[in-house]
Amino acid sequence: MNTTHFISSEILELSTISDIIFLNKKIELSKEAIDRIENCRNYLDEKIKNQDQPIYGINTGFGSLCDVKISKDKLTQLQENLVMSHACGVGEEVPGEVVKLMLLLKVQSLSYGHSGVQLKTVQRLIDFYNNDILPVVYTQGSLGASGDLAPLAHLALPLIAKGEVVYKGKICASQDIMAQFNWQPIQLKSKEGLALLNGTQFMSAYGIHLLIKSYKLSYFADLVGSISLEAFDGRSEPFNELVHLVRPHNGQIKTAKRVRAFLEGSDLIQQKKEHVQDPYSFRCIPQVHGATKDTLDFVHKVFKTEINAVTDNPNIFVGEDEIISGGNFHGQPLALALDYLKIAMAELGNISERRIYQLVSGLRGLPTFLVDNPGLNSGFMIPQYTAASIVSANKQLASPASVDSIVSSNGQEDHVSMGANAATQCFKIVYNIERILSIELLNASQAIHFRSPLKSSAFIESFLESYRAEVQFVKEDLVFYKLIEKTIHFIDEFYIENELLFD
């Protein structure tokens, strides 16, 4: 098995990133990437040597200070000052798995040879990645416009032996880790600080991490929804292919097909029903879950484009002999996509909580709150409260961040995306969805017990057998938060093949 991923000009796919993460692969620059980086740096060195005209961010100040010319002997200090002064992040620490993705995506973007960085700068970022030396980055501080300036400044600080890193579970001073590995601080050359700080790798890393998790949770929403349908004695007709072929949204068709596959061979779904219709939270699973799937596909397309792009500024075009200051750092495409993902994932939680509510309501022969002796036992009354509380929090978090903007940098940066805020809000929503689905699984597993001796499909029965090995049937009241924690862990550990996640 190949344990190294080579950074090259090939399109970086979401499935490739998932594979890199799952197999804990090392990363390495391909020969073509090395050549691109070195050619661009050599070109920039010659350009600076042979001309004195101002080039933004290379021999000028930054932002509203773009008209201040900097002398050649101060260019290294200019870049180091940029990194230090922009490291203004506050708030919670960014999770390590997201920081590691930031390193990977920054290396990918710099490898295209339009950023003017030194090869040794990129190699040091790779050293951090491969040795699990993760810079301490904070969640607050980026406007998602002139790149993710503050988070990326924290990502870059260890290159110059500043700031802190997490290594082997402990926060350490960067200079101590440099000494431990016998590394010398990088002497940043012209343009490098800007190349490291301009870019969308904070938003992109969050987006990729959340997409991978969202695809997994989309699958689980279908599976857990199917178990709830069985437990509620639901009908199969709403999942008939004919219904969906006359309204052929891809996600809707896929959801109905998946549910039919989950229920194949079930005695429960085939038994005679006394009711004509099910509530929308069951009957409209294909339409609601399917719309989320279609959203995931759109968001996937946006982030796939972004992680295979150059997002710093200015951009250097060696073949055309051009250095162009533009706006590829602006996070508007990501901000809109992240807001869309927020809404779509929040809806999975919304409809899940409604199924939970139906299961505990004492309908269709199920005991009230899914427990014997209700009254003496409160049973599954309060887990529904918890789910409802989380759903309400998600509604607040799902309000779009991208419709906001604020003026910064003395008016030079007068429109910003707020994509970084969308990213951190989306992180909370997606992890909240895992909690809600866990509560639904807890309820559905309990409810389907009361349908015995009738059985569900072989697939669902096998899945529930694995689950019940971790979380057993509840006969009387006990401490419920432990059951929810165990269920979250079960869902998080249940591995779904890549082809199920990303097809």
Catalytic residues: 56
The Cα 175–Cα 134 span in angstroms is 13
Residues 6+ apart with CB under 8 A from 329: 145, 146, 147, 198, 199, 200, 311, 312, 313
The Cα 278–Cα 355 span in angstroms is 11
CA distances from 250 to 202, 229, 255 (A): 31, 22, 9
Structure tokens at 87: 């490291």
Mode of pairing for the β-strands spanning 315-317 and 322-324:
antiparallel
The Cα 89–Cα 92 span in angstroms is 9
Q: What are phi and psi of 323, to 5 degrees?
A: -125, 115
Residue-wise DSSP of 213-266: HHHHHHHHHHHHHHHHHHHTT--SGGG-HHHHHTS--HHHHHHHHHHHHHHTT-
Query: Taking the mean position of all CA atoms in its chain, how far away is CA 503?
Result: 17
- Please say whether the beta carbons of 39 and 113 come within 8 A: yes
- C-alpha triplet 211, 465, 356: angle, nearest 5°: 60
Q: At 345, which helix (H) or strand (E)?
A: helix 332-359
Structure tokens at 425: 């809000």
The helix/strand/coil state of 124 is: helix
Q: What share of the chain is helix, strand, coil (3-state, %, to 5)?
A: 60, 10, 35
